[in-house]
Amino acid sequence: MAEELTEYRGPATMEKITSLAKRRGFVFQSSEIYGGQNGAWDYGPLGIELKNRIAQTWWKEMTQLHDNIVGLDAAILMHPRTWEASGHVENFTDPLVDCKKCKTRFRADQIPEKNLAEKKCPECGGELTNTRKFNLMFKTHIGPAEDSANRIYLRPETAQGIYVNYKNIIQSNRMKIPFGIAQTGKAFRNEIVTKNFIFRTCEFEQMEMQFFVKPGTDEEWFNTWRERRWEYYKKLGVKTDHLRWHRHGPDELAHYAKDAYDIEYLFPMGWRELEGVHNRTNYDLTRHTEFSGKDLQYIDQDNNDRYIPFIIETSAGLTRTLLMLLCDSYDEERVITEKNEGAGSEASPEDWRTVLRFHPGIAPVTVAVLPLMKKDGLADLAGDIRQELKEDFATDYDQAGAIGRRYRRQDEAGTPFCITVDYQSKDDGTVTLRFRDSMEQVRVPRAGLAERIRREIKEYRRIK
Ligand code: ATP
């Protein structure tokens, strides 16, 4: 059995990640000029590229690579009966306590039991209120009248949009069980405590795939999907000693679940859920049958059978995955160059680099093109090369400052490949290809660069 890390040993801290994210334009605080909005974040130029690429990678993994999984994009606003049927109106609550003295609000299940029993605030020792149930769904009104008849919810999960469409999809796409429906999109939860940067926010994105199976085959499919989701994170190059399974105990199981496992990641603040793989049984479709009055049975014509399918759900947070990848790929290391070799601990700060070791398929910028000098036509040549590569890759161009510093800037943005154009490039049509992880540099012909980069992406193996 693999040994367990009990604390985070890497150099990433939440402060470092938050500050890098802001400095480099991954993530900004929402409405910062007004003092910020709790629980909401904005994704800057590098952040949106990274988020899109994570979503695309997930989409390919969950749809393109399967013959029996199709996609959907359901509306955020759904008929309010949906949430009565799903159990969210009644059960989607967190237990809440307030401190009468310092006014801090806590989730009762997240403070020490002793404090709860003695009604003592863990922060200031003040008196705590009784525990109240607090529903996490955001409510609003549709239409001009603000009364309960017009109440509507912002969806707290994308899954229900899939369930209410499952019959449409069977009919329009002739799907046969077992099959899956994948969806990515926004979800909203009025979270009581939103700390740890983008880990837990009120507005976030999910990537969910709901797999419909015949009752009795559910346990086998549940295991299959657990294995596949684990392999997916390995494929992304995530550190496997920072991943583990957590099985829900009887107290943790959601009202709809027969069995549930979370994939947890060792974030700087400890082990936390990244993705849930749940056996949701036929609960949701049975409830929707009841509440809608529509027959949601699957008709198996080949075997002359009909039943309400069981659902195996894989539910990952997109924004949470982005945070995980920032933490997982973050490294600080001393760079040995000719200049500082032998300088020992007195090496200057510039000899350290911060590097994000994103998988090249996910990195916000895939290739940066850097002319060694602006003059003598090198900038023009580099500009041409960038123009050529644009069709195939997300590119960047940087001609400002010493080449070493430019490499550092790209390392910090997680750019896996840099192409440097120098005087020799003019003479013999070769350029330098520099690899982010190993910092190795090789001379390659300009012709065939795109092909070479594509191959490097495909064959990429994380070395650290
Ligand atoms: P918790 O119990 O921690 O509130 P949960 O178990 O209710 O979370 P799920 O409903 O299983 O979470 O959601 C599936 C996935 O969606 C989670 O694994 C997580 O990645 C993501 N997610 C859930 N809530 C949030 C949130 N508030 N902010 C960001 N991502 C979230």
Q: Tell me the mean pLDDT in the region 146-172.
A: 95
Query: Pairing between strand 367-371 and 417-421?
Result: parallel
Q: What is the mean pLDDT of residues 369-388?
A: 95
Q: Does pTM top 0.75 for this prediction? A: yes
Residue ranges of the alpha helices (H) in 95-239? 113-118, 159-163, 166-173, 218-235
pLDDT at 172 over 60: yes
Average per-residue pLDDT in the chain? 92
Ligand 1: list residues with CB < 6 Å. 157, 189, 191, 200-201, 204, 206, 273-276, 315-317, 319-320
Q: Average pLDDT of 379-388?
A: 97
Q: How far apart are CA 160 and CA 168, in angstroms?
A: 14
Residue 333 CA to residue 342 CA, distance in Å, equals 16
Q: What pLDDT is stored for residue 10 in this prediction? A: 54
Distance CA 430, CA 424 (A): 7
Domain ranges within the chain, ordered by starting residue: 14-73+157-327, 356-458
Q: What is the pLDDT of residues 248-264, one digit of tens each?
A: 998 888 888 899 999 99
Instruction: Give the percent of the chain with pLDDT over 90.
Output: 84
Residue nearest to atom 28 of ligand 1 (CA): 200
Closest residue to atom 25 of ligand 1, CA basis: 200
Name every residue whose Cβ is closer than 8 Å to that of residue 218 and which is 6 or more positions away in sequence: 258, 279, 281, 310, 312
Cα of 324 vs centre of ligand 1, distance in Å, is 14
**CA of 432 relative to ligand 1 center, distance in Å:** 44
How confident is the model at residue 252, as a pLDDT? 85
39 CA distance to ligand 1 middle (Å): 13
Class of domain 356-458: alpha beta
**Cβ partners under 8 Å of residue 247, min gap 6:** 259, 260, 261
If one residue of 204, 253, 284 were mutated to test the ligand 1 pocket, choosing by the most ligand atoms within 8 A of its CB, it would be 204
CATH code of 14-73+157-327, in short, is 3.30.930.10
% of the chain beyond a pLDDT of 70: 94
Residue 457: what pLDDT? 96
Look at 5 and 359; give whichever has higher pLDDT: 359
H helix count then E strand count, the chain: 14, 23
pLDDT tens digit sequence for 26-75: 999 999 999 999 999 999 999 999 999 999 999 999 999 999 999 999 99
Ligand 1 centroid from CA 315, angstroms: 8
The pLDDT value given to residue 146:
85
